[in-house]
Amino acid sequence: MDHAKSGPSSWPELADVVPVPQDDGPSPVVPIAYRDDFREVMDYFRALYFAGERSPRALRLTAEAIEQNPGNYTVWHFRRLILEALDSDLLEEMNFVEKIAECNPKNYQIWHHKRWLAEKLGPDIANKEHEFTMKILAIDTKNYHAWSHRQWVLQALGGWETELQYCNQLLEEDVFNNSAWNQRFFVIIRSPLLGGLKVMRDSEVDYTIEAILGNPQNESPWRYLKGLYKGENNWLVADERISGICLKVLKNDWTCVFALSLLLDLLRAGLQPSDELKAILEPIRSSDPETADADLATTVCCILQKCDPLRVNYWSWFKTTLSQIS
- CB atoms closer than 10 angstroms to residue 56: 11
Task: Write the DSSP assignment of 251-304 as a string of letters.
Answer: HH-TT-HHHHHHHHHHHHTTPPPPHHHHHHHHHHHHH-TTTTT--HHHHHHHHH
Active-site residue identified among 106, 230, 278, 306: 106
Task: Print burial letters for 251-284: b (CB count within 10 Å at least 16), e (below 16).
Answer: eeeeebbbbbbbbbbbbbbebebeeebeebbeeb
Find the radius of gyration of the CA atoms of the chain: 29
Look up 226 and say whether it is catalytic.
no
How far CA 84 is from CA of 70, 77, 143, 169, in Å, comes to 20, 11, 30, 39
User: Which has the closest alpha carbon to 152: 106, 104, 115, 109?
Assistant: 115
Three-state DSSP state, 53: coil
Catalytic residues: 106
